[in-house]
Amino acid sequence: MIMAEPYRTNTKDKLLAAALDLFWHSSYGSVSVDEICKKAGVHKGSFYHFFDSKVALTVAAFEAFWESKRPVLDEAFALSLSPIERLKRYSSLIYHWQKEEFDKTGKVLGCPFAGCGSELSTQEENFRIALEGIFQGYSEYFERLVKDAEICEAIMVPVIAQEMIAYVEGVIQQSKFNNDLNIIKTLLLPGLLQYISPEAAQKARLQNLSEITTTA
């Protein structure tokens, strides 16, 4: 009995990691429970010991993924940093997360939340609610940044934060559609800076242009 809990935790973690990896590299609809179990190296019975459905596993996998990224986001959005520096660190983080997968697969995989969200949010209420909670946590980083930048009235802070997040998702999706990491590298930071400091945004654009000219 002493060994049972570590075994369950290890098996559950394997299922969560396998599901996330398969969904991100393929799609929710194209991945079966059998494929998830095979990749995780566990028996199908173990799957149903922890989860009553593929949707339940998906919710748990994305919540675990979000929690695993929060410490890094906390660091990037540290309150000791200026709003401009927070956006610089965040943009670099997004680029390197995507580049890490691109170096393995040759593909820009995009945002895993957006991928599964587009498939499930109108079909599975439990997943939609979980995703809404994740994006609320995500929004809080941007809301604090906008507030600290002192660029608008308090009532507009959540609106601008949502606009910034929508911009991020749009840039990542465009990068995925074109399979081109340079879209994230050149567009993400200037576009985000435009919300809080047009001057800093223009400086970032000129720096990108200089780098492109130098490497051409």
Give 131-142 pLDDT, tens digit per residue: 889 999 999 999
> What pTM was computed for the model?
0.88
**pLDDT for 7:** 37
Q: Give the per-residue pLDDT at 164.
A: 97
First to last CA, the chain: 63
pLDDT tens for residues 30-78?
899 999 999 999 999 999 999 999 999 999 999 999 999 999 999 999 9
- Class assignment of domain 55-215? mainly alpha
Q: Is the pLDDT of residue 120 over 60?
A: yes
pLDDT of residue 126: 85
Q: Is the pLDDT of residue 5 over 50?
A: no
Does the structure show a pLDDT above 70 at 125? yes
Q: What is residue 214's predicted lDDT score, i.e. its pLDDT?
A: 65
What is the model's pLDDT at position 216? 52
Please indicate whether the domains covering 1-52 and 55-215 agree at the CATH topology level.
no
Secondary structure (3-state) at 82: coil
Spatial separation of the C-alpha atoms in residues 207 and 98, rounded to whole Å: 21
Tokens describing residue 60 = 């748990």
User: Would you state the pLDDT for residue 9?
Assistant: 56
> Residue 1: which pLDDT band, with cuts at 50, 70 and 90?
very low
**Model pLDDT, residue 38:** 95
Q: What residue ranges do the domains of the chain occupy? A: 1-52, 55-215
Q: Which fold has domain 1-52?
A: Arc Repressor Mutant, subunit A (1.10.10)
pLDDT digits (tens, 9 = 90+) for 66-111: 999 999 999 999 999 999 999 999 999 999 999 999 999 999 999 8
pLDDT value at residue 3? 35
CA dihedral 182, 28, 119, 128 (to 10 degrees): -100
Q: Can you tell me the distance from the alpha carbon of 3 to that of 12, in angstroms, rounded to the nearest whole number?
A: 14
